[in-house]
Chain A
């Protein structure tokens, strides 16, 4: 099974409220990624886990948290949603260490709308 699953597919949140998105894969991949995708923009890497080590991008460091309780699951947590967080959130995984030539396998995305 080469699928990456994401839950929920659609999420409505209120400004100032927390949001938790879930991703899972059963390919035993070492690395899991979270991207933010807005219309007509490139996917923006938010963070990734390589095994148990979390790496967050410098410009989103304080806005997003994540946990990876086991190899298969990874969550993305927003402590206090703002309107600017409305976007598609894409989860991906890859077999090897991050970067370089590792093919990434993507989930279908969670569309977050903040009101």
Chain B
């Protein structure tokens, strides 16, 4: 079955710099890749996603890149701010008609240093 890996368990960047969080997946049929953020003491919440018909998506300071050949996708946070500090989870999902669930990565803790 599908496996999703997040290679960095912790990432530390200076405020104002960019942060990049990487994920890889194994199932070439996966077609949907969301990112969720978990702040301290709170539940996960959706931040951005990308579907396999595009290779780039941007929402304000967040950019997601998808490389289907390498089975890799990444979250880029530009001009980082203290409120970006959180744990970020990536996930992958097979096509909609499979009725199968998201497969999650283990999370990357992003620390924004002043």
Contacts and interface: CB of A to CB of B under 8 A. Distances in A.
A26 B56 CA distance: 34
Interface residues of A, number: 22
Interface in A57-98: 90, 92, 97-98
A114 interface: no
Contacts, number: 64
A103 B93 contact: no
A40 B108 CA distance: 9
Residues of A contacting B: mostly: loop
A41 to B, nearest CB: 5
Please list the 5 inter-chain residue pairs (A to B) with the smallest Cβ-Cβ separation, ordered nearest first: A106-B43, A100-B96, A42-B104, A106-B44, A42-B106
Interface of A: 4, 33, 40-43, 45, 48, 90, 92, 97-101, 103-109
